[in-house]
C-alpha cells in the first residue's frame, strides 16, 4: 500500500549540505571508481550523524564545513582516503566519535589522518600561544608520517578563512594573523600556490579590510583603462611565437590584491606606480621550449636588466620551476612574463598534492614531494632539540621565510641557503657534526671568518678541528632553524655536563677539608640528602652546585652530620681550604669577568653567580672587594700550572696622533704571536690619541713581553693594562 504524504510535511529540498554533497559526487565521479565514491558517501553519512545538532556561527549545519573541505581536495583530485579524512577531520575533536570507531568503519590510515589534523584539547594551564604552538607541532609531526595531513589542514584553514564573516572582528584578525604566520608560508613551502594565493587575499581582507577594498576598487578601475593595451600586448606575443612553430598557451592574468599590496609595501609606492598589475603566463611542452620562448619575447620587447630569474635550472626550495622576466612594453608599461611547461605549472599550483593529483599520468609531483620530505626530516631534527613548542614555532617561522642563495661545496655540489645565511649556517646544513666542530672556512680559497654572509656562486670549504665546539656568540649571526636549534641543544647539554663536573670538584674540595671523600659516603645518606632537597639524582645536585645555586660548603657539612635534616651552621667560613685550580678550559660554568679580564699568572678570586657558575675576577678588580663582603659566595681559586688556550687582556695606549700608528701597533702585536680582538678610541686631539686595545694572550708573561715591545716604539707615549 503506497504511503500517504502528510499535508503538513514539507520535505527538505536542496539544503546547503545536499547541494554540497551533490557537487562533491559530481567531482569524484570524474576520476574515482564507483566503489570509492560509495565509501565517500558512507563517510558523509557517518560524519553527518556524528555532527547532528551542531551548527556553525553562520547558522548552517556543521557538516557543510567538512564537505566544503572535501570539495577543495576533490578539485585537486585527492585520493579516496584523503577525502574521507577531510569529511571526518573534526569528528574526533567535536563529536562523540572516537579514533577506534573510525578505524573499524574505514581504516587505520584514515583514522591516523583524522587524528593528525585533530587539535590537542587537554592542555591545562597553557596560554593561547602555547596551545596553538602545541597544536601546530602535533600537526607537523603527523605530517612527517603522511603529507596528506597538511593538505587536509590547509583546505580546512582555507574554508575557515572563507567563512570568517560571522566571527567577531578581534577573532577574525587573530585567526588571520595565525594563518599569515604559519599556514600561508607552509602552503608556499609545499609549493601549493593556488591555496597560498587565496589565503593571502583572505588574510589581507580580514586584517586590513579598508586597504583591501581600496586596492580591489583601484584594480577594477585600472582593468578598464588598460584592457586594450593588455590585449594588444597579448596578441603581439602570440603572433611572435606563432612564427616559431612552437606549441604554446598564452594567458594574461591579473595580479591578486595581496601581491599588489606586498609590492606597494616593499617598494613604498602608491597603487598608481604599480604598473605590472597584469602579467602573462606562457605554457609549453618541453624545458628547451621555455628558453626558446624566452629568446622570442626578449626580441619582441626589451628586458629590464637584473629582472630575469631562472628557476628551471635552479628551482626554489619548494620545487617551484619557471622562467621569470620583466619587459618594457612600447607603452612604457613594464610587463611580467612567466614561462614554464604544463607539468611545472601543475606542480606550481598543486605542489605536494600533485603526487596524488596526477599519480596515474606522470610523476610531476614527485619533485615537490621529495623536497617536502627532505624539509620534514630537518624539521623533525629541529623539533627533537627544541626546548618547548614556542621555541619550535620560532624556529619553524625562520625556516618558512627563505630567500635562497646558491653556494658550492669543494666537490661542486650546489647547496641552497636562505639569504643572509653565514658560514656557520652552511656548516650545519652540510652536517651537524661539521657545524659543531667548525673553526674557520675558505671561500674561493681565501680564509674568512665564520660570521661571513654567503653570496651566490661562492665555493665554501669548512675547516674543522677535533677540539672545537659551538660558540654561544654564533647565535647572534646565524639565521637557519637547524643551526640555531643544534647550537642551543649542544650548549644546553654541554653546560649541564660542565656544571656537573664543576659541582663534583667543588663538593669534593669541601669534603676534603672535612676529611671526607664523596665516594666513601654511604649511599643511604646521599639518598636522604636528595630526599630532603627534593631532587631525583646526585647529578641534579652536582649541577645545582656547579651553577652556583647551592653552596658546596653547606652540602658538605650536611653530608658530614649524623642528622641530615639538621640545620647547618657556618661558624667558620674562613678555614684554610685548598684553592680551586682553574685551567681555563672548564667550559661555560667558569667564566672570566669582562670588567677586569684576568689572565693566567694573575692573582684571582672567584664568586658564585647563581645559575651561571663561578665568575673569576682579578684581585685588584673593584668588584672583588664587593665579592669578599659576601663571605658565603666567594671562593679561593688559582691558576693551574698547565693552562691552555688564549685569554683577553685590555691595554690603554697613548699614541702620537699621526698616520700609520695603528698599523705599526698591529704589526708589532702580530709579530709576537698575538691577535687584536678589538680597538676603540677613548680620546683624541691634534697630537695624542688614547686607544683601548683588547689582545688575545697566553698568559701574564706573554702580555708583559708585548707591553715591553710596544714601549720601545717612539709613537707610544704611555701604555698600561686595564684591570678594572
Q: Which structural domains are found in the chain, ordered by start?
A: 16-209 (1.10.3210.10), 218-357 (3.30.460.10), 403-479 (3.10.20.30), 489-589+609-616 (no CATH), 647-722 (3.30.70.260)
598 vs 686, more confident: 598
pLDDT single digits (tens) 81-131? 889 999 998 888 888 888 899 999 998 988 888 887 775 444 444 555 666
Q: Which of 578, 560, 580, 582 is nearest to 569 (CA)?
A: 560
230 vs 700, more confident: 700
CB 355 within 8 A of CB 368: yes
Among residues 94, 130, 178, 404, the one annotated as catalytic is 94
Is 94 tagged catalytic?
A: yes
What is residue 361's DSSP assignment?
T
Q: How far is CA 295 from CA 240, 287, 290, 307, in A?
A: 11, 13, 9, 15
Q: In the numeric block, which cell numbers belong to residue 470?
A: 659551538
**359 — pLDDT class (breaks 50, 70, 90):** very low
Place of cell 690603554: 652
Q: What pLDDT is recorded for position 338?
A: 93
Q: Which of 284, 266, 264, 265 is nearest to 275 (CA)?
A: 264
Cα torsion 561, 563, 568, 572 to 10°: value is: -30
Q: What pLDDT is recorded for position 324?
A: 92
Q: Which of 700, 724, 702, 701 is nearest to 599 (CA)?
A: 700
3-state secondary structure at position 459? strand
Q: Which of 347, 327, 344, 342 is nearest to 234 (CA)?
A: 327
Torsional class of 459: left (φ above 0), alpha (ψ -120 to 50), beta (otherwise)? beta
What is residue 3's DSSP assignment?
P
Q: In the numeric block, which cell numbers belong to residue 587?
A: 667550559
Q: Which of 460, 365, 383 is nearest to 416 (CA)?
A: 460
pLDDT at 706 over 80: yes
pTM: 0.53
CA–CA gap between residue 190 and residue 367 (Å, rounded)? 11
Among residues 93, 254, 404, 461, the one annotated as catalytic is 93
Is 289 tagged catalytic?
A: no
Q: In the numeric block, which cell numbers belong to residue 387?
A: 626546548
CB 561 within 8 A of CB 568: yes
Beta pairing, strands 613-618 & 590-592: parallel
**573 — pLDDT class (breaks 50, 70, 90):** very low
What is the torsional sign of CA 436, 442, 444, 450?
positive
Residues 6+ apart with CB under 8 A from 163: 56, 58, 65
pLDDT single digits (tens) 494-552? 767 777 777 787 788 778 777 788 877 877 777 887 877 778 888 888 877 777 677 77
Q: Stretch 473-485: mean pLDDT, rounded?
A: 84
Beta pairing, strands 334-341 & 278-284: parallel
Amino acid at each position: 500500500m503506497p504511503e500517504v504524504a502528510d499535508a503538513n510535511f514539507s520535505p527538505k529540498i536542496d539544503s546547503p549540505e545536499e547541494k554540497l554533497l551533490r557537487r562533491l559526487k559530481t567531482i569524484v565521479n570524474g576520476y574515482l571508481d564507483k566503489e570509492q565514491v560509495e565509501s565517500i558517501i558512507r563517510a558523509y553519512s557517518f560524519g553527518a550523524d556524528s555532527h547532528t545538532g551542531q551548527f556553525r556561527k553562520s547558522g548552517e549545519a556543521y557538516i557543510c564545513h567538512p564537505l566544503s573541505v572535501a570539495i577543495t581536495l576533490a578539485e585537486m583530485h585527492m585520493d579516496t582516503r584523503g577525502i574521507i579524512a577531510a569529511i571526518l577531520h573534526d569528528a574526533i575533536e567535536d563529536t562523540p566519535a572516537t579514533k577506534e570507531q573510525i578505524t573499524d568503519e574505514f581504516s587505520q590510515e584514515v583514522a591516523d589522518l583524522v587524528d593528525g589534523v585533530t587539535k590537542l584539547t587537554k592542555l591545562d594551564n597553557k596560554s593561547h600561544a602555547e596551545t596553538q604552538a602545541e597544536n601546530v607541532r602535533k600537526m607537523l609531526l603527523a605530517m612527517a608520517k603522511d603529507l596528506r595531513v597538511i593538505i587536509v589542514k590547509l583546505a580546512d584553514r582555507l574554508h575557515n578563512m572563507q567563512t570568517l564573516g560571522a566571527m567577531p572582528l578581534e577573532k577574525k584578525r587573530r585567526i588571520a594573523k595565525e594563518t599569515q604566520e604559519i599556514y600561508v608560508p607552509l602552503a608556499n613551502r609545499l609549493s601549493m600556490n593556488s591555496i597560498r594565493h587565496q589565503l593571502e587575499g583572505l588574510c589581507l581582507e580580514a586584517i586590513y579590510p579598508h586597504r583591501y577594498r581600496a586596492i580591489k576598487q583601484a584594480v577594477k578601475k585600472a582593468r578598464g583603462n588598460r584592457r586594450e593595451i593588455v590585449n594588444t600586448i597579448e596578441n603581439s606575443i602570440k603572433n611572435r611565437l606563432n612564427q616559431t612553430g612552437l606549441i604554446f598557451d598564452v594567458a594574461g592574468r591579473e595580479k591578486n590584491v595581496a601581491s599588489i599590496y606586498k609590492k606597494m609595501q616593499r617598494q613604498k609606492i602608491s597603487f598608481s606606480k604599480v604598473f605590472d598589475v597584469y602579467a602573462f603566463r606562457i605554457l609549453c611542452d618541453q624545458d628547451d621550449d621555455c628558453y626558446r620562448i624566452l629568446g622570442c619575447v626578449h626580441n619582441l620587447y626589451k628586458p629590464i636588466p637584473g629582472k630575469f630569474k631562472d628557476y628551471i635550472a635552479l628551482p626554489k626550495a619548494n620545487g617551484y620551476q619557471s622562467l621569470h622576466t620583466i619587459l618594457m612594453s612600447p607603452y612604457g608599461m613594464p610587463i611580467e612574463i612567466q614561462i614554464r611547461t604544463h607539468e611545472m605549472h601543475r606542480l606550481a599550483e598543486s605542489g605536494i598534492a600533485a603526487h596524488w593529483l596526477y599519480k596515474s599520468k606522470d610523476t610531476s609531483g614527485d619533485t615537490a614531494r621529495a623536497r617536502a620530505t627532505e624539509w620534514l626530516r630537518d624539521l623533525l631534527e629541529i623539533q627533537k632539540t627544541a626546548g618547548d613548542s614556542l621555541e619550535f614555532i620560532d624556529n619553524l617561522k625562520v625556516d618558512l621565510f627563505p630567500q635562497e642563495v646558491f653556494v658550492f661545496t669543494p666537490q661542486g655540489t650546489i647547496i641552497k641557503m636562505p639569504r643572509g645565511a653565514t658560514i656557520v649556517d652552511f656548516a650545519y646544513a652540510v652536517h651537524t657534526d661539521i657545524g659543531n666542530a667548525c673553526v674557520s672556512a675558505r671561500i674561493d680559497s681565501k680564509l674568512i671568518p665564520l660570521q661571513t654572509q654567503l653570496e651566490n656562486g661562492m665555493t665554501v670549504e669548512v675547516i674543522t678541528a677535533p677540539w672545537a665546539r659551538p660558540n654561544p656568540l654564533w647565535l647572534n649571526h646565524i639565521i637557519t632553524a637547524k643551526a640555531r636549534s643544534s647550537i642551543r641543544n649542544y650548549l644546553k647539554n654541554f653546560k649541564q655536563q660542565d656544571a656537573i663536573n664543576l659541582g663534583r670538584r667543588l663538593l669534593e674540595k669541601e669534603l676534603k677539608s672535612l676529611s671526607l671523600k664523596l665516594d666513601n659516603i654511604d649511599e643511604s645518606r646521599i639518598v636522604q640528602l636528595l630526599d630532603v632537597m627534593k631532587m631525583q639524582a646526585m647529578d641534579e645536585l652536582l649541577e645545582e652546585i656547579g651553577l652556583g645555586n647551592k653552596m658546596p660548603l653547606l652540602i658538605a657539612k650536611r653530608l658530614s652530620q649524623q642528622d641530615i635534616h639538621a640545620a647547618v651552621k657556618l661558624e667558620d667560613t674562613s678555614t684554610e681550604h685548598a684553592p680551586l685550580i682553574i685551567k681555563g678550559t672548564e667550559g661555560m660554568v667558569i667564566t672570566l669577568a669582562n670588567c677586569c679580564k684576568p689572565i693566567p699568572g694573575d692573582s684571582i678570586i672567584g664568586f658564585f653567580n647563581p645559575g651561571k657558575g663561578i665568575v673569576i675576577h682579578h684581585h685588584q678588580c673593584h668588584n672583588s672587594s664587593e665579592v669578599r663582603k659576601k663571605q658565603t659566595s666567594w671562593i679561593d681559586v688559582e691558576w693551574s700550572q698547565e693552562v691552555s688556550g688564549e685569554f683577553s687582556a685590555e691595554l690603554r695606549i697613548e699614541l702620537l696622533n699621526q698616520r700609520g700608528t695603528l698599523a705599526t701597533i698591529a704589526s708589532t702585536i702580530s709579530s709576537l704571536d698575538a691577535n687584536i680582538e678589538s680597538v676603540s678610541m677613548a680620546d683624541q686631539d691634534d697630537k695624542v690619541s688614547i686607544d683601548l686595545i683588547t689582545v688575545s694572550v697566553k698568559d701574564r708573561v706573554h702580555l708583559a713581553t708585548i707591553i715591553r715591545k710596544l714601549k720601545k716604539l717612539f709613537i707610544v707615549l704611555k701604555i698600561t693594562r686595564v684591570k678594572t
